[in-house]
């Protein structure tokens, strides 16, 4: 192709008269045309523009399409990390999606008591389900677990002291630190014990007339091994009862199912914390529960009632879509179908033999090879724990370049690189997504 000179390029007005650009939003098309022509002029002066003037309308169209594309897009998670925080954590079940859609399509009884024909409370929509599943006296839902903890501390301990083990002063994702959340609530933090060893006696010794509560934070995103010790729940509850103090358990992820059934270590269960006597237990809705983002609080009715009446609750309450999806997710547990219907548990419980069979089918259609690997739970759940999995390995001259191309296909495919190969781990891909995964990979292969 003969080199293009700056004089060969049209003006902005002339370019916009092209019939292919007639239906585009005027302001977006104008800005795109200016940007494309500016880039073309700079590149042609350096002799590095790989296009012809005839390509200009298409380049403008592409630029406008990119500007009008939704920023939040569905992706295929073939990374092997099931609860991937950067990819939106837990995917919702079809029933949860349908519930959210129905709640948003028109009006709903969000805060209307259909039996009494008068104003109701949104908090009552999932309370009975949470009580049934956990054995709690009462329950409340905030918009995430950090908000739930902020509410608890603000309502129960503002202007007073909360005692916590030094070994539990954790930093969660995004640089947020538990001590900072506590201080924001106006609570004085009293640290006891050491980084690796804390005893119930350390809590007891730190109690003063200013003590409002004892706090336990589950170290959900890291693991301490070796010369370590933390008081068991019953010991901490005993200290709290002896001094008439509430004991709060921040479980982080929290689970309603026993993870040991799937070859994993035991993730603390919500029911276990309540059975041990914890006053309040807080956990996330979009991790091992497998629902929407939410901060769920369960426990003693008197304390939950105080939280419900606190002014902060208005600022952190969940919306109707969250409550609809959460209610549908909880119903899966009530019906005993969570392993079959909740995507997170479908992935965790998937047999290795089934993953191998799927990997063989996908590999045959995308010029890949089946390889065994290990998947992570992710999302601050079960740190250090992995499960055996099957993946499709894609060879390429540059694994980084191939992974980049996969992220740019539609829908984007998120993979991982091991030993110079791109791996598509099928444990974090639902079976009904296999065909879509194959199409995306074939589309990338076709242009290599």
- Tell whether 165 is covered by a domain: yes
Residues 81 and 64 in one domain: no
**Domain finish residue from 323, 341, 359:** 341
If 0-12 CB within 10 Å is exposed, 13-18 middle and 19+ buried, where does residue 118 land?
Answer: exposed
Distances in Å between the Cα of 118 and the Cα atoms of 115, 121, 317 are 8, 10, 21
Domain of 410 in residue numbering reads as 76-86+345-446
Residues 148 and 187 in one domain: yes
Contact present, 298 and 136 (Cβ < 8 Å):
yes
Calpha distance 237→242 (Å, rounded)? 9
Tell me how long the chain is. Answer: 448
For residue 358, give the H/E element and its range: helix 352-366
The Cα 423–Cα 392 span in angstroms is 6
23: DSSP letter: T
Q: Does 274 lie in the same domain as 126? A: yes
E strand or H helix at 139, and its extent? strand 138-142
- Tell me the CATH number at 353: 3.90.1150.180
Return d(Cα 301, Cα 420) in angstroms, integer: 55
Give me the number of domains the chain comprises.
3
Q: Does one domain contain both 422 and 360?
A: yes
In a domain, 3, yes or no: no
- Regarding whether 424 and 381 lie in a shared domain, the answer is yes
19 and 118, same domain (yes or no): no
Picking from 341, 364, 379, the residue at the C-terminal end of a domain is 341
Number of H helices, E strands in the chain: 18, 15
For 25-45, letters b (16+ CB in 10 Å) and e give eeeebbbbbeebbeebeeebe
Say if 187 falls within a structural domain: yes
Does 140 map to a domain?
yes
> Do 271 and 350 belong to one domain?
no
Element holding 424 (H helix, E strand): strand 421-425
User: What is the widest separation between alpha-carbon atoms in the chain?
Assistant: 88
- 434-446 vs 352-366: helix crossing angle, rounded to 10: 30
Among 31, 2, 94, smallest CA distance to 329 is for 94
- Quick one: pLDDT at residue 176? 61
Give the whole-angstrom CA distance, residue 415 versus residue 424: 5
Which of 430, 434, 439 lies closest to 94 in space, CA to CA?
Answer: 430
Q: What is the pLDDT of residue 303?
A: 97
CATH of the domain at 333: 3.40.640.10
pLDDT number for residue 359: 98
Question: Tokens 């609530």 sit at which residue?
Answer: 185
Q: Is residue 325 located within the same domain as residue 434?
A: no
- The answer to whether 249 and 216 are in contact (CB under 8 A) is yes
Examine the domain organization and report whether 379 and 296 are in the same domain.
no
**DSSP letters for 176-222:** -BHHHHHHHTT-EEEEES-SSB--HHHHHHH--TTEEEEEEE--TT-
| Same domain? 161 vs 216 | yes
The C-alpha R_g of the chain, in whole angstroms, comes to: 27
Residue 300 lies in a domain: yes
Among 341, 372, 398, give the residue marking a domain's end: 341
DSSP 383: E
Q: Are residues 189 and 245 in the same domain?
A: yes
CA distances from 80 to 252, 290, 372, 385, 428 (A): 21, 16, 12, 13, 5
Query: Is residue 356 located within the same domain as residue 325?
Result: no
Q: Does 188 fall in a domain? A: yes
3-state DSSP call for residue 316? helix
Is there a domain that residue 441 lies in? yes
CA torsion angle 196 199 201 207 (round to 10): 70
> Can you give the pLDDT of all 448 residues of the chain as single tens digits?
456 777 888 999 999 999 999 999 999 999 999 999 999 888 887 777 788 889 999 999 999 999 999 999 999 999 999 999 999 999 999 999 999 999 999 999 999 999 999 999 999 999 999 999 999 999 999 999 989 999 999 999 999 999 999 887 776 655 566 777 777 788 888 999 887 889 999 999 999 999 999 999 887 555 666 667 888 899 999 999 999 999 999 998 889 999 999 999 888 899 999 999 999 999 999 999 999 999 999 999 999 999 999 999 999 999 999 999 999 999 999 999 999 999 999 999 999 999 999 999 999 999 999 999 999 998 767 777 899 999 999 999 999 999 999 999 999 999 999 999 999 999 999 999 999 999 999 999 887 6
Residue 1 in domain: no
Please report the pLDDT score of residue 1 as a whole number.
45
Tokens of 151: 């509410």
In a 3-state reduction of DSSP, which class is residue 90? coil
For residue 306, the tally of other CB atoms under 10 A from its CB is 15
């Amino acid at each position: 192709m003969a080199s293009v000179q700056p004089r060969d390029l049209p003006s902005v007005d002339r370019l916009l008269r092209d019939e292919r650009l007639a239906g585009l939003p005027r302001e977006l098309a104008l800005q795109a045309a200016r940007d494309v022509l500016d880039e073309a002029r700079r590149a042609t002066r350096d002799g590095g523009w790989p296009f012809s003037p005839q390509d200009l309308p298409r380049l403008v169209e592409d630029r406008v399409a990119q500007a009008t594309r939704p920023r939040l897009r569905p992706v295929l998670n073939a990374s092997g990390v099931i609860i991937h925080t950067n990819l939106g954590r837990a995917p919702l079940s079809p029933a949860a999606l349908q519930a959210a859609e129905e709640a948003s399509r028109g009006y709903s009884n969000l805060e209307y008591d259909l039996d009494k024909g008068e104003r109701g409370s949104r908090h009552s929509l999932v309370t009975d389900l949470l009580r049934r599943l956990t054995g709690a006296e009462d329950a409340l839902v905030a918009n995430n677990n950090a908000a739930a903890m902020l509410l608890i501390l603000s309502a129960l301990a503002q202007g007073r002291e909360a005692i916590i083990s030094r070994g539990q002063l954790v930093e969660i994702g995004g640089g947020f630190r538990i001590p900072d959340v506590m201080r924001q609530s106006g609570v004085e933090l009293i640290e006891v014990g050491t980084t690796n060893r804390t005893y119930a006696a350390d809590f007891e010794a730190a109690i003063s007339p200013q003590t409002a509560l004892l706090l336990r934070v589950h170290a959900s995103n890291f693991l301490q091994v070796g010369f370590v010790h933390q008081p068991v729940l019953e010991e901490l509850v005993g200290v709290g009862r002896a001094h008439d103090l509430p004991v709060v358990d921040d479980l982080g992820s929290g689970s309603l199912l026993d993870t040991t059934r799937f070859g994993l270590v035991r993730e603390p269960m919500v029911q276990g914390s309540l059975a041990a006597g914890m006053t309040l237990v807080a956990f996330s809705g979009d991790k091992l529960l497998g629902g929407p983002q939410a901060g769920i609080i369960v426990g003693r009715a008197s304390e939950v009632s105080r939280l419900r009446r606190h002014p902060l609750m208005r600022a952190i309450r969940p919306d109707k879509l969250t409550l609809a999806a959460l209610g549908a997710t909880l119903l899966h547990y009530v019906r005993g179908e969570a392993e079959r219907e909740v995507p997170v548990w479908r992935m965790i419980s998937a047999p290795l033999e089934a993953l191998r069979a799927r990997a063989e089918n996908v590999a045959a259609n995308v010029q890949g090879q089946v390889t065994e690997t290990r998947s992570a739970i992710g999302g601050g759940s079960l740190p250090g724990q992995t499960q055996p999995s099957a993946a499709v390995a894609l060879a390429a001259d540059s694994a980084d370049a191939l992974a980049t191309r996969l992220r740019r296909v539609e829908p984007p495919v998120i993979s991982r690189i091991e030993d110079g190969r791109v791996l598509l781990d099928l444990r974090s891909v639902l079976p009904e997504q296999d065909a879509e995964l194959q199409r995306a990979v074939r589309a990338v292969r076709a242009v290599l």
